[in-house]
Amino acid sequence: MLLPGHFSKNLAALITKTLVQAARLDGKIGGTVQRNGDSPERHGIPAKQFSVIAESEKELHVEMAKYQPDNVRVICVMDDTLAKGVESWAWYGVQPIHINLQPGGTVLFISHRTPQELLQFVPRKPFDWKIAILDGDPCFAGLWVYKDDGIDYRTIGAVAHIEPTLVSIHALREHVSKLPDAERKLQALEAGYARVRIYPVQAGEGAEDTYVPVEKPGWTEMREGLVIPAVPMGQNNELFKKYTTRTQRPVIRFDTCIKCEQCYIECPDECFEIAGDGYFIVNYEHCCGCGICSEICPVEGCITMVDELRFESNEDLHELYVQDPQLYNDYISEKLEAVR
């Protein structure tokens, strides 16, 4: 019996450990295992953590010995941007968010979106499965400071509703009642249990699955040492793309840009490129969505961070601005509506 999550790692640890501890009150045993993204403490980088809950010690040992569980019953997605996929540790390519889901399993999204909106990005499966939605904002609690907004215990309550045979709400109530600040945590637990909504997804329903597993070299085929080749100033390393980690992307109003170069200078991943007209444009293939450019820009509203799920590609739209500034401004105004 398996349960993974994709979240910031401190939040992941609290949720997965609480589920395992409560499951013990149901007479089960379990453990947790973590798989990080490229840099989990950096803004916007996803991480995975798994609760492995078993009926026997032998079953637990078998599952804990795996790189990561491969027959998952519930996946908790704390940031709905990950509907576009998740870039695993060791970079196996952008994998579908439900790559390890078992037939009939459930993907729980913390989101304000509908199942239909999310299924535009989640690849189809050859079997029936379920989407569950717990209404809420994407949560990055546990990056630098733990954001104690109750999403942890609401998520735990939702899991008990989705898969009561995994861990019961009765065991969770008993466990949480013994914790500090128990009354508030119990309220969050009950809210998640009551408010989660579950929707069936038919086999073949969803986006096209374009994932192709990456073939990794064996240890005898690897180069000696590890080298990241330098690239000429102003260019990007084509082998080092970080857009898959992004929750938001910077959107630029060129008509307010004063060409001060601050975004170009301060971007830690050197994602800005200089256009022929002197404006600085974002290479969205390399942008991880850290938001530094938006913070450093001296012109209010010139660079705004916008929900990644409002965009379908990494296409550079500067040429659209050059050809038709009004059409470009109309386009980004529609995207910026999500921010207001």
Q: Is there a single domain that holds both residue 282 and residue 149?
A: no
Q: Is there a single domain that holds both residue 116 and residue 187?
A: yes
* Rounded Cα–Cα distance for residues 34 and 12 (Å): 9
Q: Is there a single domain that holds both residue 252 and residue 176?
A: no
Whether residue 288 lies inside any domain: the answer is yes
* Rounded Cα–Cα distance for residues 244 and 84 (Å): 8
- What's the token pair of residue 89? 């540790």
Q: Write the CB contacts of 95 (distance below 8 Å, at least 6 apart in sequence).
A: 85, 86, 87, 88, 211
For the ranges 10-14, 56-60, 156-160, which has the lowest average pLDDT? 10-14
Q: Is there a single domain that holds both residue 134 and residue 55?
A: yes
- What's the token pair of residue 217? 């070299």
Q: Is there a single domain that holds both residue 66 and residue 130?
A: yes
Q: Is there a single domain that holds both residue 172 and residue 256?
A: no
- What's the token pair of residue 151? 């999403």
In the prediction, which pLDDT does 219 show? 77
The predicted model scores a pTM of 0.81
Q: 200, 201, 237, 249: which is closest to 81 by C-alpha?
A: 249
Whether residue 158 lies inside any domain: the answer is yes
Which of 201, 226, 259 finishes a domain?
201
* Rounded Cα–Cα distance for residues 132 and 138 (Å): 15
Whether residue 233 lies inside any domain: the answer is no
For the ranges 107-111, 138-142, 264-268, which has the lowest average pLDDT? 138-142
Whether residue 215 lies inside any domain: the answer is no
In the prediction, which pLDDT does 284 show? 93
The domain total for the chain is 2
pLDDT digits (tens, 9 = 90+) for 248-274: 899 999 999 999 999 999 998 888 988
Q: Is there a single domain that holds both residue 186 and residue 256?
A: no
Q: Is there a single domain that holds both residue 153 and residue 294?
A: no
**Cβ–Cβ < 8 Å for 125, 137:** no
Which of 168, 201, 234 finishes a domain?
201
Of residues 261 and 12, more confidently modeled: 261
Whether residue 229 lies inside any domain: the answer is no
Q: Is there a single domain that holds both residue 318 and residue 189?
A: no
pLDDT band of residue 82 (cuts 50, 70, 90) is confident
Whether residue 65 lies inside any domain: the answer is yes
For the beta carbon of residue 87, count every other beta carbon within 10 angstroms: 20
pLDDT digits (tens, 9 = 90+) for 188-237: 999 999 999 999 999 999 999 988 887 777 778 777 766 666 777 767 77
Q: 285, 310, 317: which is closest to 94 by C-alpha?
A: 285
Mean pLDDT (whole number) for 63-77: 87
Q: Is there a single domain that holds both residue 73 and residue 128?
A: yes
- 321 has a pLDDT exceeding 60: yes
Domain containing 84 equals 2-201
Whether residue 237 lies inside any domain: the answer is no
Whether residue 226 lies inside any domain: the answer is no
* Rounded Cα–Cα distance for residues 140 and 147 (Å): 8
For the beta carbon of residue 39, count every other beta carbon within 10 angstroms: 13
* Residue reference for tokens 């008990």: 160
For the ranges 17-26, 48-57, 63-72, 98-107, which has the lowest average pLDDT? 63-72
Highest-scoring range by mean pLDDT, 145-149, 181-185, 310-314? 181-185
Which of 201, 232, 252 finishes a domain?
201
CATH of the domain at 107: 3.40.920.10
Q: What is the mean pLDDT of the chain?
A: 85
In the prediction, which pLDDT does 4 show? 44
Q: Is there a single domain that holds both residue 125 and residue 267?
A: no
- What's the token pair of residue 40? 């989990």
CATH of the domain at 248: 3.30.70.20
CA dist 20 → 63, 175, 179, 295, 304 (Å): 14, 10, 15, 40, 40
In the prediction, which pLDDT does 220 show? 83
Q: Is there a single domain that holds both residue 185 and residue 253?
A: no
